[in-house]
Amino acid sequence: MGRAVLIACLPWAGLLAVALAALWLLVRLNRARPQLRRLRLLHRDEAGGVQSLAFVLTLPFFVMILLFIVQVSQLMIGTVVVHYAAFAAARSAMVWIPAAVSPSEGPNCISFNYPDPEAPQEFPVLDPEAAGYGPSQGGVTCIIEPGSEKYDKIFSAAALALMPISPSRDWGGGGQGDHAGLAAAVKSAYRAIAPGSASNARVSARVDNKLAWAMAATELQIRFYHQNAEPPLLTHFIEDDPAEFRSNELGWQDQIQVKLKYDLALLPGPGRLLARFVPGPSGDDKVSRNVRQQGDVYVYPLTASAIIGNEGEKPVLQYVH
């Protein structure tokens, strides 16, 4: 995860370096020499009118560059947090998928899955009479559909990890599904860590707003890769036979891939500025085309992915390929 975070932060680090260089150049052109001991005499000093005029003229650019530096810093922090949230979701999937939650979601079972139409697939040979039947190279990548209890738990793990970078003000939206129980758990944990927060009435509303934004601004896709060296899942599915695979079962050691997209709320000023189209050398602006406006909030999408192995128990019965 560390290497992926560093690679994702490189463009933002470059922008931050450019902004700092522009700020330094602006200070140099303004011939500013900070002298803190003279600040107390500033109200009586009537000299330097030309320098004051120059400062007033350059102040808007100075403030704009400062806000841009703050915004790029937030984007770098958001990139790190989004990668951690993808890892948290993958770790939650590794824990919850092998668990028995309900009759429809037993060990290694979650939702309904189907082959990913966009992934390269190497389907196994299912005809016993055909050449190449049996264990082979490659495998099949399947997409897990949302809507189940296990999927909701995995999604909640990602949303909790994204709360620190979510806005705490009331943005007029709602979360995905019923998150009252999750919000109550977060508030209880927060009060245990900071007992003095119980007297602050704003804490509860801010937690609700952060969680609501995190759940509404997050898109989560879960895939798994089943190798052809293992028995094909669907060919061993028989209804109500506990010795066979379920229709929604994963392999006990299949790779689980989580892809996460999060809409990071931008600062009002920089967000409005980044949303304006500024054509580059190729005639395109890759930043403005990604910035979207949701109500009065400008958002920028951040993406991350994580792959982790399922840790289910190996079936006692050896399936015949």
pLDDT value, residue 91: 93
pLDDT value, residue 307: 92
CA torsion sign for 225, 97, 243, 234 is negative
pLDDT value, residue 276: 77
Helix (H/G/I), strand (E/B), else coil: 303: strand
Whether residue 23 contacts residue 65, with contact meaning beta carbons closer than 8 Å, is answered with: yes
Q: What percent of the chain has pLDDT over 90?
A: 25
Between residues 38 and 295, which one has the greater pLDDT?
Answer: 295
The rounded distance, in Å, linking the Cα atoms of 132 and 108 is 28
The rounded distance, in Å, linking the Cα atoms of 35 and 51 is 15
The DSSP secondary-structure symbol of 183 reads H
Q: What percent of the chain has pLDDT over 70?
A: 80
- Block residue for tokens 């994204």: 162
What stretch of H or E contains 271?
Answer: helix 268-274
Largest Cα span, the chain: 99
- Block residue for tokens 């709320």: 265
Q: How confident is the model over 150-197, as pLDDT tens digits?
A: 999 999 999 999 999 999 887 766 544 457 788 888 888 888 888 887
Q: How confident is the model over 203-240, as pLDDT tens digits?
A: 888 888 889 899 999 999 999 999 888 888 765 555 55
The DSSP secondary-structure symbol of 107 reads T
The rounded distance, in Å, linking the Cα atoms of 28 and 49 is 18
pLDDT value, residue 185: 84
| Average of per-residue pLDDT across 300-310 | 92
3-state secondary structure 41-80: HHHHCCCCHHHHHHHHHHHHHHHHHHHHHHHHHHHHHHHH
Q: 272: Cβ–Cβ under 8 A, 6 or more apart, which residues?
A: 298
Q: How confident is the model over 2-37, as pLDDT tens digits?
A: 777 777 777 777 778 877 887 777 777 666 666 666
Helix (H/G/I), strand (E/B), else coil: 91: helix
Cα angle 309-313-319, degrees, rounded to a multiple of 5: 100
| Average of per-residue pLDDT across 246-267 | 89
CA torsion sign for 316, 317, 318, 321 is negative
The rounded distance, in Å, linking the Cα atoms of 193 and 184 is 14
Q: What is the DSSP string of 144-160?
A: EPS-SHHHHHHHHHHHH
Between residues 231 and 116, which one has the greater pLDDT?
Answer: 116
pLDDT value, residue 239: 55
| Average of per-residue pLDDT across 250-276 | 87
pLDDT value, residue 250: 87
Instruction: Give the start-to-end residue ranges of the domains of the chain.
Output: 2-166+217-309
